[in-house]
């Protein structure tokens, strides 16, 4: 069962709305396992907040009763977290790293509640954590793939939210590993992760400069990258099978994120009494839950046009990450705008 805590939570209405919605849950704390998520926007955005809702829903098969609040304003984060925790929710999530500060404020008052920031990059013992997948590892693989497949030896990335840690990790990993393979890398940042037209324009400008492989990490804007690649007949990587469908002859692979796997693993451990107070990052070195995987289509990691020898090199790279032989920590300089 999922409870919807109404939108646009503002003081003092937040307490009334939350208490009314959770009135049915008056049993002692943790008599049943309950998980809630605070969302900065609407679950109907077909993008970031819809993903947050999907993460929440993925916990129901693990035995959690769920609830969510949409359009939570910055000023209301701590109070919303506190309300859920006081009503016996043993997992309370915030859908982005922006919620970490409020969690650090509220966490000490609820030592048995696991607070989790989705796609954050820090935590605080004993019960405030962040979860993300290893953007640097998968960005590195895309960099190698791009360099190996490029004919012009010029490859490019389009990203949003410059300076955000997971963006720095993926864009920087892409640059490091593409340059290692001899490619020239150019990175551009757009203002709006959701604007496909802006993303397409950025990609077209990079293609005009000679780039024949386009990657990126955007939300709805990612579609614009695929459209530019299709229009100009250059290679691309995406974030889902829908992107493969836009340009099936040109999309070489997608980063498919496994949020249900990451959160399911954590939720099961919380049910067993374990609490986390750190940043948990899933990657090739945390198998069987790796946080993400490269997939062109169901059952296919790469477009059939990628040569077998390139696939082997990419698999070998993943194996080095898995064994710990290879580690990369991209810097903001690695992820810089420009060449």
Confidence class for position 15, pLDDT limits 50, 70, 90: very low
Confidence class for position 3, pLDDT limits 50, 70, 90: low
**251-257/292-295 β-pairing:** antiparallel
Is 2-118 assigned to CATH 3.40.710.10?
no
Q: Which CATH superfamily is domain 135-258+289-323 in?
A: Response regulator (3.40.50.2300)
Give per-residue pLDDT as tens, 179-225.
999 999 999 999 999 899 999 999 999 999 999 999 999 988 999 99
Is the bond preceding 126 in cis, omega lying within 30 degrees of 0? yes
Q: According to the model, what pLDDT value does residue 5 have? A: 54
Mean pLDDT (whole number) for 117-136: 96
Question: Between the CA of residue 112 and those of 105, 119, 265, 270, 311, what are the distances in Å?
Answer: 15, 22, 18, 10, 46
Helices (H), 109-234: 135-149, 165-180, 196-208, 222-232
Give 238's contacts (C-beta < 8 A, 6+ positions apart): 222, 225, 226, 244, 246, 251, 254, 255
Q: According to the model, what pLDDT value does residue 46 have? A: 77
Is the bond preceding 41 in cis, omega lying within 30 degrees of 0? no
Q: According to the model, what pLDDT value does residue 47 have? A: 81
Handedness of CA 315, 316, 321, 324 (dihedral sign): positive
- Answer yes or no: is pLDDT of 122 > 50: yes
Confidence class for position 17, pLDDT limits 50, 70, 90: very low
Percent with pLDDT over 70 in the chain: 91
What is the token pair recorded at 93? 């999530």
Q: In what order do the strands lie in the sheet with 154-160?
A: 184-190, 154-160, 213-217, 235-238, 251-257, 292-295
Mean pLDDT (whole number) for 141-167: 97
- Answer yes or no: is pLDDT of 288 > 70: yes
Confidence class for position 143, pLDDT limits 50, 70, 90: very high
State the chain's mean pLDDT as an integer: 91
More confident of the two residues 127 and 1: 127
Angle between the N-to-C axes of helices 77-86 and 13-21, in degrees from 0 to 180, rounded to the nearest 10: 30
CA 44 centroid distance within chain: 18
Give 24's contacts (C-beta < 8 A, 6+ positions apart): none
- Answer yes or no: is pLDDT of 13 > 70: no
Confidence class for position 20, pLDDT limits 50, 70, 90: very low
- Answer yes or no: is pLDDT of 83 > 90: yes
Taking the C-alpha atoms of residue 79 and residue 36, their distance in angstroms, rounded to an integer, is 14
Taking the C-alpha atoms of residue 193 and residue 170, their distance in angstroms, rounded to an integer, is 15
Judge whether 218 and 225 are in contact, CB under 8 Å: yes
Q: What is the chain's alpha carbon radius of gyration, rounded to the nearest angstrom? A: 21
Taking the C-alpha atoms of residue 230 and residue 246, their distance in angstroms, rounded to an integer, is 8
Q: According to the model, what pLDDT value does residue 45 have? A: 84
Q: According to the model, what pLDDT value does residue 92 have? A: 98
Confidence class for position 1, pLDDT limits 50, 70, 90: low
Instruction: Pinpoint the residues of the chain covered by CATH 3.40.50.2300.
Output: 2-118, 135-258+289-323
Judge whether 94 and 79 are in contact, CB under 8 Å: no
Beta bridge partners of 338: 187
Query: What's the 3-state SS for 253-281?
Result: EEEEECHHHHHHHHHHHHHCCCCCCCEEE
Helices and strands counted in the chain (H then E)? 11, 13
């Amino acid at each position: 069962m999922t409870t919807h805590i109404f939108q646009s939570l503002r003081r003092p209405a937040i307490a009334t709305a939350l208490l009314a919605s959770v009135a049915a849950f008056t049993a002692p704390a943790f008599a049943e396992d309950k998980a809630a998520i605070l969302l900065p926007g609407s679950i109907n955005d077909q993008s970031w907040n819809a993903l947050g809702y999907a993460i929440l829903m993925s916990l129901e098969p693990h035995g959690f009763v769920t609830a969510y609040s949409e359009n939570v304003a910055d000023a209301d984060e701590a109070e919303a977290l506190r309300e859920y925790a006081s009503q016996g929710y043993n997992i309370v999530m915030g859908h982005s790293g922006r919620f970490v500060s409020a969690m650090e404020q509220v966490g000490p008052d609820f030592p048995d509640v696991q607070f989790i920031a989705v796609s954050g990059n820090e935590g605080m013992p004993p019960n405030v954590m962040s979860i993300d997948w290893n953007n640097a590892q998968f960005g590195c693989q895309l960099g190698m793939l791009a360099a190996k497949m490029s004919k012009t030896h010029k490859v490019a990335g389009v990203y949003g939210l410059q300076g955000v840690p997971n963006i720095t990790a993926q864009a920087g990993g892409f640059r490091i590993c593409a340059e290692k393979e001899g490619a020239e890398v150019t990175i551009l940042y757009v203002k709006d992760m959701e604007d496909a037209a802006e993303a397409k324009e950025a990609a077209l400008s990079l293609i005009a400069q000679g780039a024949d492989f386009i990657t990126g990490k955007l939300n709805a804007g990612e579609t614009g990258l695929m459209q530019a690649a299709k229009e100009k007949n250059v290679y691309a990587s995406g974030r889902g099978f829908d992107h493969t469908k836009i340009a099936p002859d040109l999309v070489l692979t997608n980063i498919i994120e496994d949020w249900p796997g990451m959160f399911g693993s954590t939720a099961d451990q919380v049910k067993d009494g374990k609490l986390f107070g750190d940043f948990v990052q899933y990657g090739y070195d945390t198998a069987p839950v790796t946080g993400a995987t490269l997939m062109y289509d169901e059952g296919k990691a790469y477009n059939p046009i990628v040569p077998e020898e390139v696939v082997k090199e990419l698999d070998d790279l993943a194996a080095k990450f898995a064994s710990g032989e290879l580690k990369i920590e991209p810097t903001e300089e690695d992820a810089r705008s420009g060449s």
